[in-house]
Structure 1
């Protein structure tokens, strides 16, 4: 199109500003109305574009990239129901605080609400799931409008990266003709005031006031029976500071697997990693009542920990949250402190006058319980049958240094919480734990692989089935990934819930056996499939470094898996009696 100057330079300015903000990755779901945005992204020399045909998978793929890079990934789609399919991933991004910039193309205003094809109401489509919504004006050929396009994307970027980070949405109405004029000069330079971004954005962190520092320091030094809790999504630098604070105060540090604190070893061993197991036992809980609990990050995966907090009647429960939100599902918090995690720990560490007594009986009690529990749990390694908990133990042993274990929700993340313990090997654990859904798991793991991580995915058969479409992303973008598919032919987690006692309705409503042969699906998308029969075959398959997708299927039995978990917990209880 030779005469499409307004469209070309307007969208060109918008696209170029993404690059000026140091955004690198764009995921495009093909469509007609989004043609100028997609083509100009593809044309831009500094933007890396990925094509993902299925919008639901595309959004989770973008989520995985952003989860890895900690920078916004841009999502682009056409008008209509295409945009609706982004919602599951956007809701996950909102709750797990992952920055996404969603650009939805739209019909111009005159084609809305009159029955035009592929048109629906996209104004505020994602509601409260996005931090900010902007409907961009229609393209106009003027420097002021090109500047407006740049400023608008700046506004969204700042919102997505300000605590709490999260997704933002821009709706872009466009008139035909939609093909940019690539013969024009300076298609990416319009609307610039300077060589850098249109507006320089400076990030800040929430700090803590001196009176609050003094108050907290006095509290911690007067309360000997304290806990620090390192929940999901805590920044790595903050995790180290939390461990340092635990050493200083003599407080055990309960590290959720998604905090990645279990691979940050500390010489004084304040990390507690088996609490999900021993907090199941009332006789243990009664001996470890806390006076103060300080939680960083989101609520841990562990349900027994949640129940433990509920039982603490004379306890200060403090939640540190820079995002100034109310993340307290226990409804027990006595103080909510809006502060950056690392800043809080640094302030208290600098304020404390002396280290706690090394003979701290409180800390030693937690350490003793933790070690006995760990000793009992390690007995699972002796099981010859294909036990799902042992899969986690073998993965921890065999995964290479600096690799990523992406874990699906339901049973896999709970087994990781139970059976993954502190170690010197650096392994990153990731999961979509914002809304805890099972959709989009494969796509998110592949997104992290696209960002350059060496990813192994641990997933159940229902989660695998939910996201089969996304296997094509491995083939299209040549992303090697190892997928450990735990196939217990249904929803294994429900065997641990009260519904399992209702035999009449259980299998149809909760067990939901699908009886699928996943070898065919793997082959369809160009992958290698291995169905293992014993632990030797499992370890052998793990050791192979394939250059493409490798699905390692472990077939387990739901009832037997439930019984083996009960057996492990029985062994743990005997450890306490020694």
Structure 2
């Protein structure tokens, strides 16, 4: 099976220690020794799964996560859900007890098939071998299962995403001293078969993902795009495949339509209106310049002004379903296949409306440059990081305040940068490990920006043993000692202050320097813009955590100030 994973193009395998999964650990280690793949060992299954997610996120090559049986498999569920919603190829390979031990109370035995529900694109329950040596048809059948699993994860016939390959194993679980590893088995165990070769392996369960995102109440599926609605605004969200963002923006520009975009993807982006969320935040200006139609491309998760725009009475909402995403809103939606991005444009007769959108966007950007965020605030930290990142860096954004700060400010970036985040479900779990996976799989300088709770939620992402490949990753942690994002939302309203601190503020008082020291991770305290710039400008080498203390009471007032600056610029 490991040999077939390599033959199918897999290059990274994350192994979690365990007894039942020991055969796979030996096989993966032998494959790494032969130079056929890279193995990463992690002791925390949740972090391991997010590491695999990060390894696959930009490469678009399925990464494999190997676990033993029982709760180990359940700990993968958060990453599997993120991979499902974020369209990331991820292959979960779980070892299991033989089927006759299910529902008997046997140690570390539960019903693992079906554990991930509809989040899995496909599922395979592979029965234990019938003999000590897999030969002939049985070996070919196992290869066929692996081929089908990798194909399903890549999105052949469906969407890229997570696949569950559950393998029952019987004792003995360790090899004989003279047993050959997978480096010696290429071509000896039969040829790759098709899905019809699964036989007694239990088959696959096709994902419900396409049905879940297909036609439903309030959704019209159209094969044609009406180019005569001239006042059209294009809104671009998170897109999984390389080049999709540039394609969407180029398509909008070819039609002569203004585009606003979430910060994910490549920068700089001259075809996008800078400060888009701030432009949309002014109801008065928007009332006078509202589009007749909004075309969404990708997954939109960040901006409340964008959500309000899509619910605006009288606005037609159309979704270009790149990777079958639609915008689920309580109004009629027209959806289109991604192929419509190749449609020949019809330029609008009157460009004055679109030109005004672009003009005010640049005016807002100029106003923000003249009145930059005040230090020390989270927005100022984001601005400093964006300004200091080297060319061709990759910046992973945790699901914290920082991603929204970057959403406000990223339009000013003029040097090459790729921005990435887990926006499938936008959880705070696994962010350190995802960023580490991106760093290990990439070839450019890698950084992450996140809040302290997001960082602490995946503190085990720092747990990288001395025998492991070390990610070259600099993590900037905005430490406001708690849930700073809630200060900008409804619970953070001044009139609710009495009930805020314990259940929303959630201060921890954690000593981040001591935590890093426990893991032998370099820690840098940056208390000024110059210190932060120096830390970010330095080429990442190994894991480095840059802690920036911030008073969380400044978040709400600074956001209000930015909106006021934008409103003044819009109404000039």
If the length of structure 1 is used for normalisation, what is the TM-score? 0.88
| 1:385-396 matched pairs, under 5 angstroms | 385-396=375-386
Give the distance between the partners of 1:562 and 1:406, measured in 2 at CA. Answer: 23
Q: 1:259 to 1:310 in 2, by over 3 A?
A: farther
Q: Is the 8 A contact 2:475 2:545 kept in 1?
A: yes
Structure 1 residue 438: Cα displacement = 0.3
Aligned to 1:146: 139
Structure 1 residue 39: Cα displacement = 0.8
Q: Is the 8 A contact 2:445 2:540 kept in 1?
A: no
Q: Is the 8 A contact 2:69 2:96 kept in 1?
A: yes
Q: Is the 8 A contact 2:80 2:119 kept in 1?
A: yes
Give the distance between the partners of 2:529 and 2:465, measured in 1 at CA. Answer: 27
Give the distance between the partners of 1:371 and 1:431, measured in 2 at CA. Answer: 26
Q: Is the 8 A contact 1:392 1:420 kept in 2?
A: no
Aligned match for 2:127, one of 129, 137, 141: 137
Structure 1 residue 184: Cα displacement = 5.0
Aligned match for 1:121, one of 111, 114, 130: 111
- Name the SS for the 1:420 alignment partner: helix
- Name the SS for the 1:400 alignment partner: coil
If the length of structure 2 is used for normalisation, what is the TM-score? 0.88
Q: 1:240 to 1:548 in 2, by over 3 A?
A: closer
Structure 1 residue 79: Cα displacement = 0.7
Does 2:323 align with 1:318?
A: no
Deviates more, 1:483-492 or 1:388-397: 388-397
Does 2:254 align with 1:248?
A: yes
Give the distance between the partners of 1:477 and 1:361, measured in 2 at CA. Answer: 55
Aligned to 2:213: none
Q: Is the 8 A contact 2:274 2:411 kept in 1?
A: yes
Aligned to 1:291: 292
Deviates more, 1:67-76 or 1:563-572: 563-572
Deviates more, 1:424-433 or 1:470-479: 470-479
Aligned to 2:199: none
Q: Is the 8 A contact 2:99 2:168 kept in 1?
A: yes
Does 2:560 align with 1:566?
A: yes
Q: Is the 8 A contact 1:33 1:174 kept in 2?
A: yes
Structure 1 residue 541: Cα displacement = 2.2
Give the distance between the partners of 2:421 and 2:315, measured in 1 at CA. Answer: 31
Aligned to 1:547: 541
Q: Is the 8 A contact 1:77 1:103 kept in 2?
A: yes
Give the distance between the partners of 2:87 and 2:382, measured in 1 at CA. Answer: 27
Q: Is the 8 A contact 1:377 1:569 kept in 2?
A: no
Query: Gaps (5+ residues) in structure 2?
Result: 196-209, 211-220
Q: 1:364 to 1:447 in 2, by over 3 A?
A: same
Aligned to 2:241: 235
Q: Is the 8 A contact 1:250 1:356 kept in 2?
A: yes
Give the distance between the partners of 2:37 and 2:116, measured in 1 at CA. Answer: 26
Instruction: Please provide the CA RMSD for this pair.
Output: 2.3
Q: Is the 8 A contact 2:440 2:472 kept in 1?
A: no
Aligned to 1:41: 28
Does 2:471 align with 1:479?
A: yes
- Name the SS for the 2:411 alignment partner: coil
Give the distance between the partners of 1:215 and 1:443, measured in 2 at CA. Answer: 42
Structure 1 residue 300: Cα displacement = 4.3
Query: Gaps (5+ residues) in structure 1?
Result: 1-13, 201-205, 207-211
Give the distance between the partners of 1:41 and 1:516, measured in 2 at CA. Answer: 37
Q: Is the 8 A contact 1:104 1:172 kept in 2?
A: yes
Give the distance between the partners of 1:215 and 1:434, measured in 2 at CA. Answer: 28
Deviations 1:284-306 (A, max 9, x none): 22022222222211124211111
Aligned to 1:531: 525
- Name the SS for the 1:272 alignment partner: coil
Deviates more, 1:488-497 or 1:328-337: 328-337
Give the distance between the partners of 2:222 and 2:412, measured in 1 at CA. Answer: 31
Q: Is the 8 A contact 1:66 1:72 kept in 2?
A: yes
How many residues of Structure 1 are paired with residues of Structure 2 in the alignment? 534
Deviates more, 1:59-68 or 1:283-292: 283-292
Deviations 1:204-245 (A, max 9, x none): xx9xxxxx99842xx21x111012222102533232232222
Does 2:268 align with 1:263?
A: yes
